[in-house]
Amino acid sequence: MNVDNSYSAKQVQQRDAIITAVQNEFGFDTTTILPFCPARLDGVESKAFISHLKAVVDNIKPDVIYLPFAFDVHSDHQVVFKAMISACKSFRAPYVKEILCYETLSETNFALSPQNLQFQPNVFVDISAFVEKKYAILSLYASEFAEHPFPRSMQAVRALETLRGSQANSLAAEAFVLLKQIW
């Protein structure tokens, strides 16, 4: 996101401030901002995009990768999914031992598919002890939220984590689709 991609200097500054705040809340050592424009990744040449992602993966050498669900309605999520699968092939990134897809309110649950390519989680993580921290971090994204029944509302967030918790015998959970696991 930059001024060259039809964003104002104020918008870029606000987004950078959010990224820094999220980095600080999570305690990340570093973040990487790639030179691509949001909501336009489907127009980026895939080889160049994969190369950028691969460079980040090689630099960090993660053992776990979290990806947006392949069939989210948001085109950027689809592009990121496909590119990361390519960048994280076992012979290219042997240190990646697990790949999981997460669900995104307003994207995953709006992907209507006649082939039934819906998000069907098979991994659940009990987050009961961390919900307040989760809400604090989500509050940093205030511009992405609205009042219920908007799909990205705090009420929807709580409802989904409660549903996923009930599926995992906990008060609150995050759900994932496991794509790859190497022991």
Q: What is the pLDDT of residues 89-145, one digit of tens each?
A: 999 999 999 999 999 998 888 877 777 688 999 999 999 999 999 999 999 999 999
Strands 98-102 and 173-181: antiparallel
Residue 25 lies in a domain: no
Give the count of domains, the chain.
1
Residue 78 lies in a domain: yes
CA–CA separation, 120 vs 170, rounded Å? Answer: 18
For residue 41, the enclosing domain spans 34-181
Residue 164 lies in a domain: yes
**Phi/psi at 88 (5° precision):** -110, 20
User: If you average pLDDT over residues 161-165, what whole number do you get?
Assistant: 99
- Which residues make beta-bridge pairs with 102? 68, 176
Give the model's pLDDT for residue 89: 96
Residue 5 lies in a domain: no
pTM for the whole thing? 0.92
* Contact predicate 134/174, CB 8 Å: no
Residue 6 lies in a domain: no
